[in-house]
Amino acid sequence: MNKTVEETEEFINSFLPLVKDVSDVDILLAPPFTSLGAASRLLKSSNVILAAQTVFYEEKGAYTGEISPVMLRSVGCSCVIIGHSERRQFFFETDDIVNRKIKTARKNGLDVILCVGESLEEREANKTFDILDRQLTGSLADLSLDGTTIAYEPIWAIGTGKTATKEQANEAHTYIRQWLRKNKEGADAVRIQYGGSVTPDNVESLMSQPEVDGALVGGASLKPDSFAKIVTGAIKK
C-alpha cells in the first residue's frame, strides 16, 4: 500500500530509462489499484509488464470494494499476485480462496504469481515443508501450471531485514520443484521466485542458486535506482 498516482508516475518515469536495455529478465510492476490506469499508459510499449497485487474470485456482482479479473484486463494488466502472505494474514485468505482466485484469473487470461511460505514459528518447528505442501495442494487443486509462477516468500523474512540464506532459499525452492514434478505436468517450466527482503546487495547471491529463478521484491522496489539494480543483479551469470 504505497504510492499515489502521482508518485507512481514519477517512479515509472525514473525507472524505465534505467532498465530500457534489459532483455535478459522479465520485469514486472504491481502498483496499487488506484495507480493501474496511469501505470498502464506509461508502460505501454515498454519492456515492463503490468500486474495487480490481488484479485477477487468473481467476474462481477455485489461485492463492494472488490476488483475482478475482467477489470484488471481492461486496465492493461496481464498478471496478478495471488495468495501473498499479507493477504493470508490480514485478510484471512485461505488456500481455498486462493484456489478460486487463481481459477478465475486464469479463466480471464491473467498469468498468476502464487505466493507460498511459512512463518517463523513454523520454520522453527521444522514445519516448512508441511506448510508448503498444504499451500501448494490447496492453492493448485484442479489446476494446471499454465501461466503460473510460484513465489516462495518466508513470512519471517518479509520487511524484517532478515533474509533466508541462499541455501535456505534453494532448499525450499527444490522442495517446491519436487512437489510440482510429483503432482503436476510441466513442472520444470515453472518459474520459482524468492521473496523476502531482497536487496541489491543480496540478489546476485540468491540468484546464483540453481532453483531460484527470480525475485518478488518488496520494500527495495519502492525506489527506482534500487529496483533497477535488483533487475540487473537478477540476470543469471
List, in sequence order, the alpha helices (H) in 80-223. Answer: 85-90, 95-107, 120-124, 128-139, 166-183, 203-207
Q: How far apart are CA 230 and CA 195, in angstroms?
A: 12
Question: What letter represents residue 144's amino acid?
Answer: S
**Residues belonging to the active site:** 84, 153
Tell me the residue length of the chain. Answer: 237
Q: How far apart are CA 70 and CA 58, in angstroms?
A: 9
Buried b (16+ CB within 10 A) or exposed e, 168-182: bbbbbbebbbebbee
How many other CB atoms sit within 10 Å of the CB of residue 72?
25
**CA nearest 131: which of 154, 97, 162?**
154
- Which residues are paired to 194 by β-bridges? 152, 215
Q: How far apart are CA 207 and CA 169, in angstroms?
A: 10
Q: How far apart are CA 41 and CA 135, in angstroms?
A: 35
Residue found by looking up cell 474470485 in the block: 57
Asked if 27 and 19 count as a contact pair (C-beta separation under 8 A), the reply is yes
